[in-house]
């Protein structure tokens, strides 16, 4: 059940809740809604059913006590303010509670003004922080806009994307008008970024310019191989389809356990698994993979079938780098497989190199496209981040990181591509064998009605892509466009509008995080 009321809502858990009616009535007269429960278990269950602004939690309750309830509440909603109320002033209890991130604590008996002042302090702090973020963004809006233009370098684009993403998270679900301003600025940036990629990408690939960013084929050689050569036990995690904003959500759960160094690289085009992920594991462009290892490059449109040989491609890259070791490789496609691998992390950590591919975020992206329920739960980018965060909190991926936090290892975390919320369609024409992907196409006689919405690749070799036929061409979608055929146009236009897709040229798909983590001593 969702709380849509404007009044702040307080969950109050106390085994003597019936004796607190005078305090509850006092707060209700001050404009608060109170949901009373008499035990910790009911408090935890309420967290799953309704949104709250604050939780008051009695420390001593029969059954599930306050500290245990606090732990479970924080595992579900880490940012929810909790006030611990206790009869005891013993230091260890407060240390344990404060260590679990309570917002405040009160000693019984409490009086109405204590409760009111604590509540207002917490709510006003949150409101002030939100207002400060809004004011800071508005002050920086003009400065950010002035940096977006035809002379912006790839380093500057990386920083612009980083800053816009930060504001997207900081402003959250705040003022709708301000969120719209930020969304419009993001759209303007992606429009210019698309022009930037059109002007520079082919040159970067063919002239070896020192001005080029790091691309997918160079990720392992820069971030993984040096650790292996230095004799450091190294763990490589690739989370399929993870955007930078999602990494920031994950990172806050890891910062206590690890020292984290963040960097960025650019995905190759198309920003899709068969191309970008194969390029990472091979250390080669798709064209070079096809030329050097034709048996490992399968022609076809099925994305899963085109990524069957990542382990073999990684082995060949390591050997080209002078590394001949027995390494571990695991692809995690289900929660059950994840549990099995998480239970063996101590063994994996003894390997010189272990590589893992996690597919859940990509699965969630595709599921949102196909499921009205998930689209209802995640109607916008902020809600989509929240669903991803909820998964991560209870995921085997987080469990693996927890297991490795006690080991002497270096962990590299990255992704193969991101995704973009596709809001505008553009018609494309092609023959019957044209690929069905929504953000990129390859085939013969490809044409887009709106040429400003695409990058058209007439010579695949110039873009380091396989030339599947003599007249093979590629179309890459720009900004937030998605491709629709004229046949049954309105059906597919409506079906795929407002879905997260990948394969095109946008900041969200191309500018990708790569983090190096070492356990805190």
Domain 9-110 has CATH 3.40.50.2300: yes
Reply yes or no on whether the pLDDT at 3 is more than 70. Answer: no
Q: Among 379, 392, 451, which Cα is nearest to 421's?
A: 379
Compute φ and ψ for 451, nearest 5 degrees.
Answer: -70, -20
Q: Is the dihedral of CA 46, 50, 51, 56 positive or negative?
A: negative
Flag the least confident range among 80-94, 323-337, 340-354, 467-481.
80-94
The whole-model pTM stands at 0.78
Q: Where are the domains of the chain?
A: 9-110, 127-207, 216-420+509-519, 424-497
Q: Can you tell me the distance from the alpha carbon of 26 to that of 47, in angstroms, rounded to the nearest whole number?
A: 23
DSSP 505: B
Residue 370 pLDDT exceeds 80: no
Q: Say what the pLDDT of residue 209 is.
A: 58
Q: With bands split at pLDDT 50, 70 and 90, how would you rate the model's confidence at 50?
A: confident
What CA–CA distance (Å, rounded) separates 322 from 335? Answer: 35
Token pair of 118 as six digits: 């604590």
pLDDT confidence of 486, banded at 50, 70, 90? confident
The model's pLDDT over 310-327, given as tens digits with 9 standing for 90+, comes to 999 999 999 999 999 999
Structure confidence at residue 127 as a pLDDT band (50, 70, 90)? low
144-168 burial, b for 16+ CB within 10 Å, e for fewer?
Answer: beeebeeebebeebbbbbbbbbebb
Got the DSSP string for 315-370? HHHHHHTT-----EEEEE-SHHHHHHHHTTHHHHTTSSEEEEEE-HHHHHHHHHHH
CA distance 137 to 60: 44
Tracing tokens 């994840």 back to the chain, one arrives at: 338
- Give Cα 85 to chain centroid, integer Å: 36
Q: Has residue 506 got a pLDDT over 90?
A: yes
Structure tokens at 304: 């899963």
Q: Are 28 and 115 in contact (CB under 8 A)?
A: no
Are 9-110 and 216-420+509-519 equal in CATH topology?
no
Among 296-310, 389-403, 440-454, the range scoring the smallest mean pLDDT is 296-310
CATH architecture of 216-420+509-519: 3-Layer(aba) Sandwich (3.40)
CB 287 within 8 A of CB 206: no
| The two three-digit tokens of residue 261, written as one number | 């160094």
Least Cα distance to 479 among 519, 510, 514 occurs for 510
Q: Which pLDDT value is given to residue 203?
A: 93
- Other Cβ atoms within 10 Å of 323 Cβ, number: 16
Distance CA 351, CA 461 (A): 38
């Amino acid at each position: 059940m969702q709380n849509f009321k404007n009044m702040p809502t307080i969950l109050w858990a106390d085994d003597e809740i019936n004796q607190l009616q005078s305090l509850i009535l006092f707060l209700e007269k001050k404009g608060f809604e109170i949901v009373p429960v008499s035990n910790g278990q009911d408090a935890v269950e309420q967290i799953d059913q309704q949104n709250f602004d604050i939780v008051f939690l009695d420390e001593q309750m029969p059954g599930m006590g306050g500290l245990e309830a606090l732990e479970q509440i924080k595992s579900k909603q880490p940012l929810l303010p909790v006030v611990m109320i206790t009869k005891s002033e013993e230091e260890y209890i407060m240390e344990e509670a404060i260590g679990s991130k309570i917002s405040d604590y009160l000693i019984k008996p409490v009086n109405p003004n204590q409760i009111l002042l604590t509540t207002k302090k917490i709510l006003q702090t949150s409101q002030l922080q939100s207002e400060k973020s809004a004011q800071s963004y508005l002050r920086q809006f003009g400065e950010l806009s002035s940096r977006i233009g035809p002379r912006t370098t790839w380093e500057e684009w990386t920083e612009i994307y980083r800053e816009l993403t930060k504001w997207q998270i900081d402003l959250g679900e705040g003022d709708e008008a301000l969120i719209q301003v930020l969304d419009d600025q993001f759209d303007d940036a992606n429009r210019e970024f698309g022009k930037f990629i059109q002007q520079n990408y082919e040159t970067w690939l063919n002239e070896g310019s020192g001005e080029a960013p790091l691309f997918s084929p160079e990720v392992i050689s820069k971030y993984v191989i040096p650790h292996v050569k230095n004799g450091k036990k190294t763990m490589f995690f690739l989370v399929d389809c993870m955007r930078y904003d999602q990494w920031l959500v994950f990172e806050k759960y890891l910062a206590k356990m690890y020292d984290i160094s963040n960097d960025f690289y650019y995905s190759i085009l198309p920003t899709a698994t068969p191309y970008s992920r194969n390029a990472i594991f091979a250390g080669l462009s798709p064209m070079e993979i096809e030329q050097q290892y034709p048996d490992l490059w399968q022609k076809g449109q099925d994305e899963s079938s085109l990524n069957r040989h990542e382990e073999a491609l990684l082995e060949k890259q390591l050997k080209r780098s002078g590394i001949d070791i027995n390494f571990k490789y695991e692809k995690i496609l289900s929660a059950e497989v994840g549990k099995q691998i998480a239970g063996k992390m101590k063994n994996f950590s003894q390997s010189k190199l272990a590589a893992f591919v996690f597919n859940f975020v990509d699965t969630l992206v595709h599921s949102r496209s196909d499921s009205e329920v998930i689209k209802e739960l995640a109607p916008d980018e902020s809600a989509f981040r929240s669903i991803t965060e909820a998964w991560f909190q209870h995921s085997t991926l987080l469990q693996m990181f927890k297991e490795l936090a006690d080991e002497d290892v270096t962990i590299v975390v990255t992704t193969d591509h991101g995704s973009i919320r596709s809001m505008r369609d553009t018609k494309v024409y092609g023959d019957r064998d044209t690929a069905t992907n929504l953000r990129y196409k390859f085939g013969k006689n490809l044409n887009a009605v709106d040429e400003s919405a695409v990058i058209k690749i007439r010579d695949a070799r110039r873009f380091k892509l396989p030339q599947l036929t003599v007249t093979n061409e590629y179309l890459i979608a720009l900004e937030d466009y998605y491709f629709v055929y004229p046949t049954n146009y309105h059906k597919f236009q409506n079906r795929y509008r407002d879905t997260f897709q990948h394969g095109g040229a946008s900041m969200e798909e191309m500018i990708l995080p790569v983090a190096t983590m070492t356990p805190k001593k």
